[in-house]
Structure 1
Amino acid sequence: MGLLPGFLSTAPKSEAEKRADEVRTGAVAPTRAERARCWAARDAFYACLDAHGIVDTLNSEGRAAAARACPAEGAAFERDCAAQWVTYFKKWRVQDIQKKARLKELEAQGATRMDVQTDFTPRR
């Protein structure tokens, strides 16, 4: 005799678990402490990826490599950050690594680095 998934007994979620689910789905904005926890989890995940030479976790090969090499860090990152943030940070990581590699390549070819102001605040 099998049980249907809807009839399995599950403990009710605590208020903290409910809040975490709401942050993960984007239903509520994260507090400063929740953002800090997300960034710490992201940084730990990135450190693990760097240690194992994994760049892109958005493709199936990178996702599998990250799951093998950094399961705890990946789970914490997914748990502590809003789902949209996780996707954004993963895309940003790939683009940032590609940008740095391209800049290094250009400098090796003799390009000159230029300081560029990217905001509109007046310089003093």
Structure 2
Amino acid sequence: MTKSEASTGKPPLRTQRETCWKLRDEYFSCLEAVSIFDPTKVDTDESIQKLVKKSDCWKKKSSYEDACMTSWVDYFNKRRALEIRQRQILAETKKQSADGESEGK
């Protein structure tokens, strides 16, 4: 979906949504391959930008942003960052629980 289509107020078609999701997943996978897990930092951190530009991820980012509505891109990026933080907290909690159980024995 182009930005002009998004501004018309029409909801995206199923094929447009599927394309958006596919390109989002490809972009996020590309970021993971270069050890970047928070897509919200790509636009704000210069060192991350350089790394993304050196890889194929910059093209994938552009395709993803062109195919998806801006509000969706913002939502997906923030949700991705939140999911990663939640996984890290959960892993740390499990580790602390396991450490606590082993100390109690």
Task: Tell me which interval the TM-score lies in, with the shorter structure as reference length.
Answer: 0.7 to 0.9
2:26 matches 1:44: yes
Residue 106 of structure 1 corresponds to 93
User: Post-superposition, which runs of at least 4 consecutive aligned residues in structure 1 deviate over 6 A?
Assistant: none
Alignment TM-score, normalising by the size of structure 1: 0.66
2:52 matches 1:66: yes
Alignment TM-score, normalising by the size of structure 2: 0.76
Residues 20 and 80 of structure 1 are in contact (CA less than 8 Å); yes or no, is this contact kept in structure 2?
yes
1:109 Cα offset (Å): 1.2
More helix by share: 2
Aligned length: 93
Name the CA distance, whole Å, in 2 between partners of 1:73 and 1:51. 13
Residue 76 of structure 2 corresponds to 89
2:12 matches 1:30: yes
**Structure 1 gaps, min length 5:** 1-18, 112-124
Name the CA distance, whole Å, in 1 between partners of 2:54 and 2:29. 15
> Which one-letter code corresponds to 2:17 in the other structure?
R
- Structure of greater Rg: 1
Relative CO higher for 1 or 2, CA cutoff 8 Å, sep ≥ 6?
2
